[in-house]
Amino acid sequence: MPSPIVAGSSQGAVHNWLNTTQVGRVQVSKVGVWIDAGSRYENEKISGTAHFLEHLAFKGTKKRSQLDLELEIENMGAHLNAYTSREQTVYYAKAFSNDLPRAVEILADIVQNSTLGEAEIERERGVILREMQEVETNLQEVIFDYLHATAYQATAVGRTILGPTENIKSINRNDLVEYITTHYKGPRIVLAAAGGVSHSQLIDLAKYHFGNLPSSYKGDAPAMPLCRFTSSEVCIPMFYYLILYCSLSGLTLNT
> Residue 47 is which amino acid?
S
Assess whether 134 carries a catalytic annotation. Answer: no
DSSP states along 109-156: HHHHHB---HHHHHHHHHHHHHHHHHHHT-HHHHHHHHHHHHHTTTSG
80 CB-side CA count, 13 A: 27
30: phi then psi, degrees, rounded to nearest 5: -130, 130
Nearest Cα neighbor of 51 from 154, 134, 159 is 159
What is the distance between the alpha carbons of residues 113 and 187, in angstroms, rounded to a whole number? 19
CB 196 within 8 A of CB 1: no
Per the DSSP assignment, residues forming a β-bridge with 13 are 19
- Given 54, 74, 131, 233, the catalytic residue: 54
CB 157 within 8 A of CB 147: no
CB 25 within 8 A of CB 154: no
| Active-site residue list | 54
